[in-house]
Amino acid sequence: MAILDEIRPTRRQRVYDLVRDAGVDVSHWERTKGESSSAASNPKYCYNWSFVGEKVVVANLWHEEMVEKGGIVRYILNPREMAKNATGVRVARAQQMDLAIRQAMTFPLPIRVIINAGSRKQDGHKTTSVKQRLLDPVVWNVEAYDEHTGRCTLARRNPQPTFIDQFTAWKEGSETPRKKLVTTEVSQRCSKVRREVLARANGYCEYCKTPGFTTHEGIFLETHHVIPLSEDGPDTPSNVVALCPNHHREAHYGVTQHSIRQQLLAFLKANARPTQA
């Protein structure tokens, strides 16, 4: 069965419930509802096309506009263009969706999609009417966004994790170790080596196996030269590990630093790439 057939909604659930289930706080729906309306039917929110929470963006998308190719479902839209051609409250809703997608791309934030099916005014119907809707259990992300035009592509898949270390904020320099004058002479690490080591660690401390913490830029670990550069240790993946901040400090200053060094050297030896014949 095609993925599009699997995710076609078969029943109509409330936007209020789906937005809440996606992780967005909906308590303000209750505070601003009209006297005769329930929070779930609050017109200030329930007809919006997108919703932004602290850690997630929710977007209403139409099932019939989704395209499946290579096992990935995508949705191409341009809310900015829609706002130019819209009237009334639809202008604000389109502008809000454009802002929500930009926020999802910038921070980045996962996108939870409410899939809608029904009749649309632009397809020749007198009004737009959602007959079925559901919250897709799979996370979507912004695959492409054109800052100049607002055209964007959303993809139904989790983005690949990004891994960063304590040097990521530095301007990347040469791909080989070299020395530069700051106030003292320090060795500049090779960014390619650091990226390879972080990818090898896959977000986990290579000493204690605990996961690194998540930042807006990616999953954070600290890269560490087991044999220090000051002791002529090589700046290569065979001498560099990714550590949680606590064990990185301990590897430098703890009374167990010698033991940690020996364990890390054994780890690197056991995980060394086979040499090419």
Residue 197: inside a domain: yes
pLDDT score, position 126: 63
pLDDT in tens, 101-157: 999 998 889 999 999 999 877 655 567 789 999 999 999 999 999 999 999 999 998
Distance (Å, whole) CA 45 – CA 29: 7
For 172-179, which contacts have Cβ atoms below 8 Å and span 24 or more sequence positions?
176/235, 177/229, 177/235
Residue 170: inside a domain: yes
Same domain, 77 and 205: no
Same domain, 20 and 111: yes
Same domain, 15 and 151: yes
Same domain, 206 and 244: yes
- Segment 151-177 shows an average pLDDT of 71
Residue 121: inside a domain: yes
Residue 269 has pLDDT above 80, yes or no: yes
Same domain, 135 and 227: no
pLDDT score, position 68: 95
Contact (CB, 8 A) for 46 and 16 = yes
- Segment 174-191 shows an average pLDDT of 56
pTM: 0.59
Looking at 155, 189, 208, the residue that finishes a domain is: 155
pLDDT in tens, 14-32: 999 999 999 999 998 987 7
The bridge status of strand 222-225 relative to strand 152-155 is: unpaired
Peptide bond into 108 cis (omega under 30): yes
The CB density around residue 134, as the number of other CB atoms within 10 Å, is 19
Task: Tell me how many domains the chain contains.
Answer: 2
Same domain, 10 and 141: yes
Looking at 155, 178, 211, the residue that finishes a domain is: 155
CA dist list (Å): 109 to 18, 28, 48, 116, 202: 18, 22, 19, 22, 20
Which of 58-72, 153-167, 170-184 ranks highest by mean pLDDT? Answer: 58-72
The residue to which tokens 């009374």 are assigned: 255
Same domain, 256 and 169: yes
Retrieve residue 38's tokens: 């329930």
Residue 277: inside a domain: no
- Segment 4-23 shows an average pLDDT of 95
Same domain, 52 and 141: yes
Same domain, 49 and 130: yes
Distance (Å, whole) CA 272 – CA 256: 24
Q: Which domain does 20 fall in, by range?
A: 3-155
- Segment 1-23 shows an average pLDDT of 94
pLDDT score, position 277: 44
User: CATH code at 257?
Assistant: 1.10.30
Same domain, 52 and 81: yes
